Amino acid sequence: MRLPTGLRARLVITFTLVAVAASVMVATIGYELAKAALIQRAEDSAVDLVTRELRQITFPVGTLRQGEAAPDYKDLQQLADALNGPARSVALEYGHLSFSEGPLSMANVPHELHGRARGGVVKQRQVIGDDVWLIVGAEVYRRDGPVPEASGLRAFVFFSMREEEDQLTTLKGSLAQGGALIVLIALGVALVSARSVLLPVRRLSAAAQALGEGRLDTRLPVHGQDELAALTARFNDAAAALELSVSELRALEALSRRFVADVSHELRTPLTAMTAVADMLMEEAERLPDAPAEAVRLVLSEIERLRHLVEHLIEVSRFDAGTATLNVESVNVYDAIHDSLETRGWTETVEVNVAKGLAATVDPRRFDVIVANLVGNAIKHGGPPVQVSARGTENGLEMKVRDHGAGIPEEALPYVFDRFFKAGAGRSRSQGSGLGLAITRANVHLHNGTISVRRQGPGTLFTVWLPGR
């Protein structure tokens, strides 16, 4: 059984357990005190009755004087009648004579009590059968001389404790009902108290959730001067500081995006001129000496790399600014993949496994970017053969791109879609910009799709899923 872990449940359980423990303790103490008082009263009453009746004996007992006759069976019967009453039993003993009146007799008197009766009035509770009896015993003393004399007459009176037991049973039931009522009241108080105590906590939780959802202007009213009020005030201070920090970060981020976008656009014009000059130099490179020709080729390569980088930065700035749009239409997936590969001269390098009649609803330009970036990454950083496959699923299009190279290191897999990330120190000067896979993921997400990567044996496998529309 799983124990409740909520703060409200723990407060209610703790409060209820304390109430139960207190009720049990109070009821137990009350019951024991009442029991002791009731039994003490019954014992005192019984001892007083026996003592009083024995003092009123009229027949001579003990050392008989001249003219006195020893008590007989009739005298014992009269004494038993005086001591007897409802729910009682009497047993008398005098020398060889014994007399009992009621269901009990001298045989029911414990030996230890029988011996102690010589010293005065004694009492003892004893279970006889199924009932509890209070036995009061005493030896009768003759007191008409200078010194009290033991008479040899012993009287034992059995008082039934059934009435006291019934009273204690009734008291026990009343205490149990009272305890149950106290527990119910305590449970109700606990629920109300827990609700009032946890209400500020719930408000703090809701406010924290609102902050997590981006509502940074969330604040809570501060009531009172207790610990919860202090906590609420600190929450408001933290929220205000967070709102200020986030506002500053957003402003810096907006400036950064604007700067990247502006720089990228400004670079387009000189790049266009450089590309035109580079094309002219390329035509003359074959007629130049080896060293100048190599320098021209290096410049042309770096210009091409810079052009790709600027294009990627412009595309990234569109995604960051939220201006990237999706213009979907139904396209033939086989034709779209082949056109993308043919445009870049990769048809002889890549194996395509796509049904010719497969169709999907995508943005053609962005789908071309997805295919080109994944295949280009496989060609540049993987190993042949590079394979592209696509199939229709129940709710969309699944496309896979795999190479058979060394594969991306396991520790680099979580970061392959990060901007400017390049797996391995030796790739810092590769032709890639480090933005291709980040742009690919952004285009997939713009389609509400998913993209994943995992190692193969050998190579790396990229899987793209685009939903049907």
**pLDDT single digits (tens) 364-382:** 888 998 998 899 889 988 8
Measured on CA atoms in the order 284, 287, 292, 297, is the torsion positive or negative?
positive
pLDDT given at position 388: 93
Nearest partner of 142 among 218, 258, 64, 251, judged by Cα = 64
- Pair 145, 83 in one domain: yes
pLDDT given at position 271: 66
pLDDT given at position 262: 66
* Token representation of residue 464: 């793209």
Q: Is 362 part of a structural domain of the chain?
A: yes
CATH label of the domain that carries residue 335: 3.30.565.10
Q: Is 220 part of a structural domain of the chain?
A: no
> Out of 5-9, 105-109, 121-125, 460-464, which region has the weakest mean confidence (pLDDT)?
5-9
- Pair 23, 157 in one domain: yes
Beta partners for residue 390, in sequence order: 354, 399
- Radius of gyration from C-alpha coordinates of the chain: 53
> Out of 78-92, 108-122, 254-268, 391-405, which region has the weakest mean confidence (pLDDT)?
254-268
- Pair 50, 163 in one domain: yes
280 vs 388, higher pLDDT: 388
Whether 185 has a pLDDT exceeding 50, the answer reads yes
CATH label of the domain that carries residue 101: 3.30.450
- Confirm if 314 and 306 have CB atoms less than 8 A apart: no
User: Which residue among 298, 321, 344 closes a domain?
Assistant: 321
Whether 204 has a pLDDT exceeding 70, the answer reads yes
Q: Is 253 part of a structural domain of the chain?
A: yes
User: Which residue among 303, 321, 339 closes a domain?
Assistant: 321
- Pair 291, 380 in one domain: no
Q: Is 209 part of a structural domain of the chain?
A: no
Whether 57 has a pLDDT exceeding 80, the answer reads no
Angle at 284 between CA 281 and CA 286, to 5 degrees: 120
User: Which residue among 321, 340, 361 closes a domain?
Assistant: 321
pLDDT given at position 73: 79
- Pair 457, 399 in one domain: yes
Q: Is 223 part of a structural domain of the chain?
A: no
Measured on CA atoms in the order 430, 435, 436, 438, is the torsion positive or negative?
positive
Q: Find the domain containing 100 and state its range.
A: 7-168
Whether 299 has a pLDDT exceeding 80, the answer reads no
pLDDT band with cut points at 50, 70 and 90 for residue 260: low
pLDDT given at position 402: 93
Average pLDDT over the chain reads 81
Helix (H) or strand (E) holding 112: helix 111-116
pLDDT band with cut points at 50, 70 and 90 for residue 54: confident
- Pair 125, 39 in one domain: yes
- Pair 303, 359 in one domain: no
pLDDT band with cut points at 50, 70 and 90 for residue 83: confident
pLDDT given at position 61: 67
Q: Is 188 part of a structural domain of the chain?
A: no
Name the region of 420 (left: φ>0; alpha: ψ -120 to 50; beta: rest).
Answer: left
pLDDT given at position 429: 45
Mean pLDDT of 102-107: 87
Quote the pTM value.
Answer: 0.45
For residues 339 and 368, what is the distance between their CA atoms, to the nearest angstrom?
8
Measured on CA atoms in the order 302, 300, 375, 448, is the torsion positive or negative?
positive
Mean pLDDT of 249-262: 69
pLDDT band with cut points at 50, 70 and 90 for residue 409: confident
> Out of 12-26, 236-250, 301-315, which region has the weakest mean confidence (pLDDT)?
301-315
313 vs 212, higher pLDDT: 212
Please count the structural domains in the chain. 3
Please report, rounded to a whole number, the percentage of residues in the chain having pLDDT higher than 90: 12
Whether 146 has a pLDDT exceeding 70, the answer reads no
pLDDT band with cut points at 50, 70 and 90 for residue 3: low
Nearest partner of 156 among 203, 102, 193, 208, judged by Cα = 102
pLDDT given at position 428: 41
Give the dihedral of Cα atoms 79, 84, 90, 94; nearest 10 deg. 0
- Pair 252, 232 in one domain: yes
268 vs 400, higher pLDDT: 400
- Pair 288, 380 in one domain: no
**pLDDT single digits (tens) 412-456:** 888 888 877 776 544 444 455 677 888 888 888 888 899 999 998
pLDDT given at position 431: 53
Q: Is 431 part of a structural domain of the chain?
A: yes
- Pair 279, 339 in one domain: no
- Pair 359, 315 in one domain: no
- Pair 307, 337 in one domain: no
Most confident of 99-103, 230-234, 259-263, 451-455: 451-455
Q: Is 83 part of a structural domain of the chain?
A: yes
Most confident of 285-289, 319-323, 403-407: 403-407
Most confident of 70-84, 178-192, 268-282, 343-357: 343-357
